[in-house]
Amino acid sequence: MALHPDAGKLAPKSILVNIPRLISEYYTKIPDTKNPTQRIAFGTSGHRGSSLLGSFNENHILAVTQAVCDYRREAGITGILFMGMDTHALSYPAQLSALQVLCANGVSVYIAKDLAYTPTPVISHAILTHNKNSDVLCDGIVITPSHNPPSDGGFKYNPPHGGPADTDVTDWTEKRANALMENGLQEVKKITLDEAFASAYFVEYDYVTPYVDDLQNVIDMEAIAKSGIFIGADAMGGSGMAYYSAIKERYGLNMEVFNDTLDSTFSFMHCDKDGKIRMDCSSSYAMAGLVAMKEKYDIAFGNDTDFDRHGIVTKSVGLMNPNHYLSVAINYLAQNRPLWKSNLGIGKTLVSSSMIDRVADALGKKVIEVPVGFKWFVEGLTNGTVFFGGEESAGASFLRKDGSVWSTDKDGIIMTLLSAEILATTGRDPGVHYLELTQKFGAPIYARIDAPATLEQAKKLKNLNALDIKATTLAGETIEAILTHASGNGAAIGGLKVVAKNGWFALRPSGTEPIYKIYAESFIDEAHLNQIQDEAQEIVSALF
- Transcribe 502-518 into DSSP letters: TEEEEEEE-SSSSEEEE
Report DSSP state, residue 4: P
Catalogue the active-site residues.
146
167 and 276 co-located in one domain: no
pLDDT given for residue 456 in this prediction: 82
Please say which residue of 206, 239, 273 terminates a domain. 206
Q: Residues, the chain, total? A: 544
Instruction: Answer yes or no: are the C-beta atoms of 423 and 432 closer than 8 Å.
Output: no
Percent of the chain having pLDDT more than 90? 88
| Domain extent at residue 486 | 445-543
The pLDDT of residue 459 is above 90: no
58: confidence class by pLDDT, cuts 50, 70, 90: very high
Instruction: List beta partners, residue 507.
Output: 496, 518
In-domain check, residue 5: no
Instruction: Answer yes or no: are the C-beta atoms of 422 and 328 closer than 8 Å.
Output: yes
Average pLDDT over residues 287-297: 97
Report DSSP state, residue 309: B
333 and 311 co-located in one domain: yes
pLDDT given for residue 535 in this prediction: 92
pLDDT given for residue 1 in this prediction: 59
311 and 395 co-located in one domain: yes
Please say which residue of 206, 227, 250 terminates a domain. 206
Average pLDDT over residues 172-194: 98
129 and 272 co-located in one domain: no
In-domain check, residue 380: yes
410 and 507 co-located in one domain: no
pLDDT given for residue 457 in this prediction: 82
In-domain check, residue 2: no
Q: What is the CA radius of gyration of the chain?
A: 22
281 and 330 co-located in one domain: yes
530 and 471 co-located in one domain: yes
pLDDT given for residue 277 in this prediction: 98
Average pLDDT over residues 53-64: 98
Instruction: Answer yes or no: are the C-beta atoms of 480 and 501 closer than 8 Å.
Output: yes
Percent of the chain having pLDDT more than 70? 99
436 and 449 co-located in one domain: no
In-domain check, residue 199: yes
pLDDT per residue as tens digits for the range 188-219:
999 999 999 999 999 999 999 999 999 999 99
pLDDT per residue as tens digits for the range 387-441:
999 999 999 999 999 999 999 999 999 999 999 999 999 999 999 999 999 999 9
257 and 389 co-located in one domain: yes
Please say which residue of 441, 467, 499 terminates a domain. 441
CATH code, domain with 453 = 3.30.310.50
pLDDT given for residue 458 in this prediction: 84
In-domain check, residue 26: yes
Q: Of the candidates 11, 335, 7, 44, which has an alpha carbon nearest to the alpha carbon of residue 167?
A: 44
Report DSSP state, residue 147: T
Cα 327 from Cα 430, distance rounded (Å): 10
In-domain check, residue 377: yes
The DSSP bridge pattern shows strands 310-314 and 367-370 to be unpaired
Residue partners of 225: CB distance under 8 A and separation at least 6: 251, 252, 253
197 and 244 co-located in one domain: no
Q: Of the candidates 231, 268, 271, which has an alpha carbon nearest to the alpha carbon of residue 252?
A: 231
Structurally, the chain folds into a number of domains equal to 3
pLDDT per residue as tens digits for the range 62-99:
999 999 999 999 999 999 999 999 999 999 999 999 99
55 and 169 co-located in one domain: yes
Report DSSP state, residue 9: S
102 and 82 co-located in one domain: yes
In-domain check, residue 114: yes
Helices (H), 364-411: 378-383
Phi and psi at 75, nearest 5°, equal -90, -5
Cα 3 from Cα 410, distance rounded (Å): 29
In-domain check, residue 6: no
pLDDT per residue as tens digits for the range 312-343:
999 999 999 999 999 999 999 999 999 999 99
CATH code, domain with 239 = 3.40.120.10
